[in-house]
Structure 1
Amino acid sequence: MKHIKTFFVICMLVTFNFACKQNTEPNTADLAVKTEVKTDPNGFSYEVINNDPTGLRLYTLENGLQVYLSKNTDEPKIQTYIAVRAGSNYDPSNSTGLAHYLEHMLFKGTDKIGSIDWEKEQAYIQEISDLYEAHRAETDEVKKLEIYKKIDEVSLEASNYAVANEYDKMVSGMGATGTNAHTWFEETVYKNKIPANELNKWLSLESERFSKLVLRLFHTELEAVFEEFNRSQDNDGRKVYTAMLDALFPNHPYGQQQTIGTAAHLKNPSLVDINNYFNKYYVPNNMAMVLVGDLNFDKTIASVNQTFGKLKYKEVSHPTLAEEAPITAPISKEVFGPTSEGVTLAFRSNGVNSEDEKFVTLADMILTNGEAGLIDLNLNQKQLVQRAGCYTMFLNDYGLHQFYGDPQEGQTLDEVKDLILSQIDKLKKGEFDDWLIEAVVNDLKLSQTREYENSTALASAYYNAFIHHQKWEDQVKFLDELKAITKEDLVAFANRFYKDNYVVVYKRKGEDSSIVKVENPGITPVNLNRDKSSQYLTDFQAIKPDELEPKFVDYKSAIKEKTLENGINVSYIENETNDLFNLDIIFDMGTDNDKKLSLAVGFLEYLGTETMSAETIKKEFYKLGVNYYVFSRNDVSYIGLSGLKENLPKGLALLEDLITNAKSDPEAYANYVDKILKERQDGKTQKSNILWNGLVNYGKYGENSRLRNIMKASELKAQDPQELVDIVKGLKDYKQRIFYYGKDVDQAVAALNKEHKLNMPLKDYPEATTYVEKETGGHVYFANYDMVQSEMVFLAKGQTFDAEKMAAASLFNAYFGSGLSSIVFQEIRESKSLAYSAFSSYNTAGKLDDSNYVLAYIGTQANKMDQAVEAMMSLMSDMPEAEKQFQAAKDAALKKIAAERITKANIFWEYEGLKKLGIEKDNREAMYNTIKNMEISDLRDFFNDNIKGENYNVMVVGNKKDIDFNALKKLGEVEEMDVDYLFNYETTDKVKL
């Protein structure tokens, strides 16, 4: 919860790679943050900020492109972002969704990338553009349909000269990961994480990509975007968000132009508008490049200038957007849908770089920080609501402070709203501890350190600064400026800011009458030309950068050992980055050994001791900058601490006292049970939970599954809470081992010797329950859900785990089932437009004696299901072979392994996973050597032995009124599954359809 909460705040903040000490005054030197301009040996000038722990160099090229560079040598990779100040705010009012759709089209190539014969192709693309203009202008529906059929015909002809996904083939062939993009109100951001030795190739490719827009394979991608629109209609959380923004911003595009666009605009696009938008905003002086990783500053900026420096400067202006009048009374909205009920409140603020940003950020953390905020302690800890919290969002023109709450059983949404408002009133009255402001600022620093140890998070902070016109100097000073705010200042602000000036959105269960039903347009599949290449691709692949040699881990030497006085083993790895630590006491038993264990450790959250209440314990941990956790999984349980190294001894003493002296609380337990039962009811309303937990578990195990082996409501209510407390206290009596990641292991060992007292000898673990994987095939399990799309999972049980198959499985997944240039994605989305999301994978087991599984997924309109199933089953029966695509997948797999580094605490946790598979060495070395020698015939053999002819159980969630059950019956006997039966909440018969 805490990391989710702080994400919204720290995305605008800078990491501090040092320990944040409590109860210390700000260092005046830290406040003297200034920007200096320096010049590198090649004559490029750049800005640096003193006291900036991120080491940013900010360059501005002559054409206006801003370049953010920072060095991180944890791995030989570079996180790249190309950010454009162009988002849905700037969509023409009659072409909403344009910026987002343009984002999709930037993956389709240029006149050089993705074209076999540009001279011929461009004539068809122009014809398609003209037809879309005619289609848009036509008001007669019959004539519009005729024009669309013509678009479909010409698009098929145009596809003869196009190669799908050449861009992805090139970036994946470099070993890139995380290839993606996103569009939001004020931004479109393009993402890749690349091996460091591929930087110059990547720069060459990206400079070509952004030099020219070609709207290739337009109508098939448009249908994919409409599938994305359908997914948004099935997302109640997104609908609440949209309603909230509509009420907060009745005039501004924040509330009036959704990024995804309207159905009418998506079905009537203008290629002319899209080209105009690209030409206006996709210019270097409206863009930034962010590179964080293993780079050489001087060489990198020279290479950036050599490529992106050639893009031409062009004056750009963003439209002046509407201003909003003050909100003078609460505004109420309702949203309906199948998911559980909840209430959302939001207060509108000024935007980025305003004083509001500082005060609202601080107020937000006082109210909820995951540990000791007013909402945390007074509502969540006391279990007065199912859950509640808040977060902030700051954009260029405005910001908002959003609160959310879910009701307990029998509680009204207005009661939840009033409880949230009561905590805001406490803030306004100053009813919070005097130490809390300093503690939350230090907590933000702590969170920054955790989040920004990796290059991706830091690079995200940089591009956010660019999009929001923020000086990095101001970012570096931000937290010290927060610390300078007094309690009196904050209370005064709260009384000015939090009045009856909010929006409230009630999410209620019920049918949504605003849903747009979409017809299947019947698109003719376009040609993919898998084994053809543009000249650009051929030349690109001929460029050979310096080889990057893989590095493998010797786990036994990397993980060092010490022994406590009581003989318990402590594995440890030193943290060489900062002064944070993680300490885990590990028990190799879990809920399989005792299904009450998870219930017991969850109860601990609400318990105190004879000398301290649960609320006091939370506050004491928060003061120390230390978090504790106790949780249990299927086969393992943990007691753990993390936070500031200097406070490990005090934190451990506090945790040991809690576990040893926890005091049962029957009232808290009764509330805890009510909370669990409400969570179960809420979970039944989530389609992803129904599909991936309920149906998939049933398809895999049948009635005898972990998911169904639960304590019934009557059992929970009859449970003696003291027994659960005793289970927690008794956990330490079992065999255990310890892992420590941090500095000064001797301090940690000394603290453990002092505080972690055990009753020796330790007990063996109880026998674990076993769950037998059933054979798959011939069954279709369906669950009814009110939704626009339908979602399907195909599951086939394979052979038991075999380490020899891991290399082939990895290469098969890259070639066949995942990624933008995979066979499945190309056939089902790119060629046939049958789904927004479709993938397939061969999943290796997580334990030595478990089975591997073949899995496939389709999310599509119900009226496309029959075609989508046929397409997927055809692929799973006969693997298309494309030599060039295979070689690209092979190169990508090898380069990803070569660039991968297992470091820090991950060394220990990766080794933990390997040992469960009976592997004692870094298996990536064997995989690398195997893949290096594989041919496409080896992949064919793997497919024929492990994929072809498999028998599938099919799990389907969708609207019963729209599903074609005759199509499903082709796959096996169809059974409609009651959700209570799936999760074993009640005994309900299955229904055959």
Structure 2
Amino acid sequence: MKQIKRLALILLLITAISCNTDNNKSYKVTAQKDTNGITYETVENDPTGLRLYTLDNGLKVYLSKNADEPKIQTYIAVRAGSNYDPKESTGLAHYLEHMVFKGTHKVGTVDWEKEKEYLEKISDLYEKHRTEEDTEKKKALYQEIDKVSLEASNYSIANEYDKMTASLGATGTNAYTWFEQTVYTNKIPANEFNKWITLESERFSTLVLRLFHTELEAVFEEFNRGQDNDFRKRYAAMLDGLFPNHPYGQQTTIGTGQHLKNPSMIDIHNYFDKYYVPNNMAIVLVGDLDFDKTIAKINETFGKFEKKELTHPTLPKEEPITQPVINEVFGPTSENISIAYRSGGVNTEDEKMVTLVDMIMANGNAGLIDLNLNQKQVVQRASCSPTFLNDYGYHTFTGSPKSGQTLDEVKDLLLEQVTKLKNGEFDEWMIEAVVNDLKLNETRQYENNSALADKYVEAFIYQQNWSDRVKFLDDLKKVSKEELVAFANTFYQDNYVVTYKRKGEDNNIVKVENPGITPVNLNRDKSSEYIQAFNKMESEELKPQFVDYKTAIKETKTENDIKVSYVLNDKNDLFDMNIIFDMGSDNDKKLSLAAGYLEYIGTDKYTNEELKKEFYKLGISYYVSTGSDKTYVGLNGLKENLPKGLELLEHLWDNAKADEEAYNKYVEKIYKGRQDGKTQKGNILWNGLMNYGKYGENSPLRDIMQIDELKSINPEELVALIKDMKNYKQRVFYYGKDVDNAVAALNNQHKIYGELKEYPIAKKYKETETGGNVFFTDYDMVQTEMLFLAKGDPFKPENMAASTLFNTYFGSGLSSIVFQEIRESKSLAYSAFAAYQGASKKDSPNYVMAYVGTQANKLEQAVDAMMELMNDMPEADKQFQAAKESTLKKLAAQRITKSNIFWSYERLQKLGIDNDNREAMYNTIKNMTMEDLKAFFDKNVKGESYNVMVIGNKKDLDVKSLQKLGNIKELEVDYLFNYIDEKKVKS
């Protein structure tokens, strides 16, 4: 009977989304012609509505329409990455990606013929530098390269491409390189498409390697960041074990330090000429577009590119792995382990079977790893994930140990779950349930233009027929449990690579000298003929749209008089419901503890594992989360199953049963989580040091319960706290269809008795005045990272317009003042930014913030460069006008839709704002001048007193450069987070 009930629930789930998972559906590919006579393909029953064009020169164009907002996600993909780097020039594809932002013979130059002469000299010098073995002669050649580069920069203009994309109102201007692809990204306002496609066709027409040595140094800073990333090191070691011959394991995308320091501009040009050709590229556009007009314009621009004969290299084949391969890497972060199995690549049967296995092993709810390891808290955390590439793939299992647990014990527990799979120890219904879970995730992805565009890029890079992608989940449903178990017994043998990430010193770190680069000229006041003509091109005006929150957010009430705010979902049958309590950990420190504990307990009817399965069968997820001032009890998934999901959630809420063993493990997990967090440099800087810089000793981060306190708590108290939450004031937000059905479910299941209680008074944390302090924490790393923080005036709505424009002009983005000066001109960092950060609550202070990450031996230069900018903002009128235009166009193209309508209003109300203030911001920015921005800078940024937070290796630290900023106080990590009673501070 129990099995029959389970199957009935599965059938309900299947019916709810069967429109796209019907095995009898046709996925026929049809060729048609548009009004221009250009042929395209569509796939029957494709929920994405893709039109796939192939131009005469071989260029693939993927177009999909979504008019939710007047924007288009754009990707330009090249089917070539680090796999094809010459063995003596690893990192080439990635470095080329950087250089494609530098312009062409028309973009980024004031006199191409003169500039070209210097670039040819630089190229010749690099060829000599590459082959020179004498150290002193090599240094002399580099000094000559530096000298000629400075002269060349008299004719170059930095960041013209970025200035033009910014002037369109583009966001997400970036690129990425991996094994088999290089992809260039922008998200543009739809009305700017013609200008964008014109610019991109110019961009990819010619490669010019200007400002080469400064960008190369920035890439080396990126290399250093990789050396400080233990995850990347473990990943590289895993790939090395899986692929001892193939470039997947033998050529990292970033390249080797030796190759980066000895580049060949000739090799880079050859790579561009060979692979950046139309028959090896794709344009992917998803958004508010007109199919026929869009493809006509692409054909008019990129269609003129010449098709070339192209052969991709034949890469080595791997022999089967017949016994475990064991690797070790070392670093300062907490220990973990990975076990990886090599599989077939994209478009193989392995891809289907491993995808299914992966979800049955770990789906975040009811997988074998989820239930047997994470829910039972027998490890700190564990998971798995598959990756599929052109030639091969791999299935990776990862785990972190509990306190006192060895990595080998974690390995054995992970392999034990694989054995359970091979023995068929999972429920019959799991295959259909996980396929439907994948379908839910796919439905959510298709709502997001960027996520859908990513899928099209994958299809191009991995040479997938889109029809196969559309029916992929249907193919998975055809797999039986018997077939999957048989596959597992063949596939998962002693043919894995195990990589131990151990805590300790890494002896393979590459130490890098500061090459002493002379800052190049940026020529902000100059512009190429191309950008002058580009700026004269006209686009149809895009009018901004603002939200009337009073009408956009509807309201009703439950029978218990609880307010229900709602926004209707007209896109699909998914829902999201939140019961909101306006109290959090500031009101009661135990709230977040209780919310986390609920994850690991069951009821008098269901064990915790059974609850997870019941929710998973319904296609419903639930959560209880607590922030500083809010607690959310949430439910989301299939609208049809909302009543049953809410019934199950309310059952847990009302009948949760304390489990002392589970609580003891939970406290152990918290303890180990704290220990692990102390080893993460990002956590130390952005949580520990930043909070100390804001609050000093009395910060919310340090106001914690010590482990002894946690151990003394009776778990019954936490369960009672969760149950008692229902007795406090509350409200509901619902996003979905059929609000009447949602309210009826609340009336039936969410029972409230008596008058609701007021919230406990929240604790206040006072922010200290900043200035004259340098807070330093020692950490074993290559770079040194610095965060400058100055407390400003209390939040004022009228400052939001000026601060938004200031951030665009001065501190954020590739064409900002800070990025240009510190990275483009001086090559002092890979990442540098500054911002005027608005408060999140009314009456709270704003902050001025700046960040730079650099080599320790560049620290003094970086400090001086940043502080000079923060006290004397360069005034570049052309750059200001571009920043102003960019900011206005971003606001004009911005649309607040779906559930974001409610959540954006929540954020505004915390600031004391009761309307869509973007309208006031837009009108203010329209009338702002450079003088207005300078006045804002002088009042709010110039001369501010900073607390400076620094994390780096103490033995490499340039103390003198920091002493100029204030009194240096070394803070131990335990003190920062208040994890021990013995608080140590060194001055």
- Cα separation, 2, equivalents of 1:274 and 1:775: 51
Match of 1:98 in 2: 92
Q: Offset of 1:987 from its aligned partner?
A: 3.4
| CA contact 1:371–1:377 (8 Å) conserved in 2 | yes
- Cα separation, 2, equivalents of 1:452 and 1:700: 41
| Of 102, 109, 121, the match for 1:127 | 121
- Cα separation, 1, equivalents of 2:309 and 2:592: 60
- What amino acid does structure 2 have at the position aligned with 1:787? M
Match of 2:711 in 1: 717
Q: Percent identity?
A: 69
Kindly report structure 1 stretches of 4+ aligned residues shifted beyond 3 Å: 18-31, 987-993
Match of 1:693 in 2: 687
| CA contact 1:550–1:897 (8 Å) conserved in 2 | yes
Q: Offset of 1:352 from its aligned partner?
A: 0.3
| CA contact 2:974–2:983 (8 Å) conserved in 1 | no
- Indicate how the Cα distance of structure 1 residues 722 and 800 shifts in structure 2: closer, same or farther if over 3 A, else same: same
Q: Offset of 1:967 from its aligned partner?
A: 1.2
Match of 1:934 in 2: 928
- Cα separation, 1, equivalents of 2:690 and 2:432: 47
Instruction: Structure 2: state its 5+ residue gaps.
Output: 1-11
Match of 1:472 in 2: 466
Match of 2:41 in 1: 47
Q: Offset of 1:759 from its aligned partner?
A: 2.2
Does the residue aligned with 2:671 lie in a helix, a strand or coil? helix
- Cα separation, 2, equivalents of 1:449 and 1:943: 45
- Cα separation, 1, equivalents of 2:803 and 2:161: 24
* 1:395 matches 2:423: no
- What amino acid does structure 2 have at the position aligned with 1:45? T
Does the residue aligned with 1:317 lie in a helix, a strand or coil? coil
* 1:169 matches 2:163: yes
Deviations 1:491-511 (A, max 9, x none): 000000000000000000000
- Cα separation, 1, equivalents of 2:367 and 2:892: 45
Match of 2:309 in 1: 315
Does the residue aligned with 2:244 lie in a helix, a strand or coil? coil
- Indicate how the Cα distance of structure 1 residues 770 and 45 shifts in structure 2: closer, same or farther if over 3 A, else same: same
Does the residue aligned with 1:704 lie in a helix, a strand or coil? coil
- Cα separation, 2, equivalents of 1:23 and 1:463: 26
- What amino acid does structure 1 have at the position aligned with 2:292? D
- Cα separation, 1, equivalents of 2:196 and 2:831: 26
Q: Offset of 1:30 from its aligned partner?
A: 4.8
- What amino acid does structure 1 have at the position aligned with 2:350? D
| CA contact 1:828–1:868 (8 Å) conserved in 2 | yes
- What amino acid does structure 2 have at the position aligned with 1:51? N
| Of 571, 574, 586, the match for 2:568 | 574
| Of 240, 246, 250, the match for 1:252 | 246
| Of 346, 362, 373, the match for 1:368 | 362
Match of 2:264 in 1: 270
Q: Offset of 1:966 from its aligned partner?
A: 1.4
- Cα separation, 2, equivalents of 1:20 and 1:679: 38
| Of 953, 960, 980, the match for 2:974 | 980
Does the residue aligned with 2:27 lie in a helix, a strand or coil? coil
1:29-178 equivalences in 2 (<5 Å): 30-178=24-172
- What amino acid does structure 2 have at the position aligned with 1:495? N
1:146-545 equivalences in 2 (<5 Å): 146-545=140-539
- Indicate how the Cα distance of structure 1 residues 85 and 28 shifts in structure 2: closer, same or farther if over 3 A, else same: same
- Indicate how the Cα distance of structure 1 residues 984 and 29 shifts in structure 2: closer, same or farther if over 3 A, else same: closer
**Taking structure 1 as the reference length, what is the TM-score of the superposition?**
0.98
| Of 728, 733, 754, the match for 2:722 | 728
- Cα separation, 1, equivalents of 2:982 and 2:697: 12
- Cα separation, 2, equivalents of 1:643 and 1:24: 15
Does the residue aligned with 1:597 lie in a helix, a strand or coil? helix
- What amino acid does structure 2 have at the position aligned with 1:488? E
Q: Offset of 1:21 from its aligned partner?
A: 3.6
Q: Offset of 1:986 from its aligned partner?
A: 1.1
| CA contact 1:628–1:655 (8 Å) conserved in 2 | yes
Deviations 1:134-172 (A, max 9, x none): 000100010000000000000000000000000000001
Q: Offset of 1:767 from its aligned partner?
A: 0.4
- Cα separation, 1, equivalents of 2:36 and 2:547: 38
1:746-895 equivalences in 2 (<5 Å): 746-895=740-889
Does the residue aligned with 1:83 lie in a helix, a strand or coil? strand
- What amino acid does structure 1 have at the position aligned with 2:260? L
| CA contact 1:19–1:579 (8 Å) conserved in 2 | no
- Cα separation, 1, equivalents of 2:66 and 2:550: 26
- Indicate how the Cα distance of structure 1 residues 640 and 910 shifts in structure 2: closer, same or farther if over 3 A, else same: same
Does the residue aligned with 1:160 lie in a helix, a strand or coil? coil
- Cα separation, 2, equivalents of 1:960 and 1:70: 53
**Taking structure 2 as the reference length, what is the TM-score of the superposition?**
0.98
* 1:548 matches 2:528: no
| CA contact 2:13–2:436 (8 Å) conserved in 1 | no
- Cα separation, 2, equivalents of 1:214 and 1:515: 33
Deviations 1:163-213 (A, max 9, x none): 000000000100000000000000000000000000010000000000000
Q: Offset of 1:452 from its aligned partner?
A: 2.2
| CA contact 1:842–1:852 (8 Å) conserved in 2 | yes
Does the residue aligned with 2:497 lie in a helix, a strand or coil? strand
1:740-751 equivalences in 2 (<5 Å): 740-751=734-745
- Cα separation, 2, equivalents of 1:470 and 1:808: 48
- Indicate how the Cα distance of structure 1 residues 141 and 168 shifts in structure 2: closer, same or farther if over 3 A, else same: same
- Cα separation, 2, equivalents of 1:637 and 1:27: 37
| Of 921, 936, 956, the match for 2:950 | 956
Q: Offset of 1:271 from its aligned partner?
A: 0.0
* 1:629 matches 2:635: no
Does the residue aligned with 1:631 lie in a helix, a strand or coil? strand
- What amino acid does structure 2 have at the position aligned with 1:176? A
Q: Offset of 1:549 from its aligned partner?
A: 0.2
Q: Offset of 1:63 from its aligned partner?
A: 0.6
Q: Offset of 1:23 from its aligned partner?
A: 10
- Cα separation, 2, equivalents of 1:849 and 1:30: 61
Q: Offset of 1:342 from its aligned partner?
A: 0.5
- Indicate how the Cα distance of structure 1 residues 27 and 833 shifts in structure 2: closer, same or farther if over 3 A, else same: closer
- Cα separation, 1, equivalents of 2:915 and 2:707: 45
- What amino acid does structure 2 have at the position aligned with 1:915? Q
Instruction: Structure 1: state its 5+ residue gaps.
Output: 1-17
- Indicate how the Cα distance of structure 1 residues 20 and 827 shifts in structure 2: closer, same or farther if over 3 A, else same: farther
Deviations 1:325-354 (A, max 9, x none): 000000000000000001100000010000
- Cα separation, 1, equivalents of 2:19 and 2:605: 31
Deviations 1:644-703 (A, max 9, x none): 000000000000000100000000000000000000000000000000000000000011
- Cα separation, 2, equivalents of 1:284 and 1:676: 53
- Cα separation, 1, equivalents of 2:976 and 2:954: 17
1:598-747 equivalences in 2 (<5 Å): 598-747=592-741
Q: Offset of 1:25 from its aligned partner?
A: 11
Q: CA RMSD, aligned part only?
A: 1.1
- What amino acid does structure 2 have at the position aligned with 1:947? V
| CA contact 1:975–1:990 (8 Å) conserved in 2 | no
- Cα separation, 2, equivalents of 1:156 and 1:41: 52
- Cα separation, 1, equivalents of 2:539 and 2:507: 57
- Cα separation, 2, equivalents of 1:803 and 1:362: 51
- Cα separation, 1, equivalents of 2:981 and 2:603: 39
Deviations 1:201-241 (A, max 9, x none): 00000000000000010000000000000000000000000
- Cα separation, 2, equivalents of 1:601 and 1:760: 24
Deviations 1:403-441 (A, max 9, x none): 000000111101100000000011101000000000000
- Cα separation, 1, equivalents of 2:411 and 2:85: 35
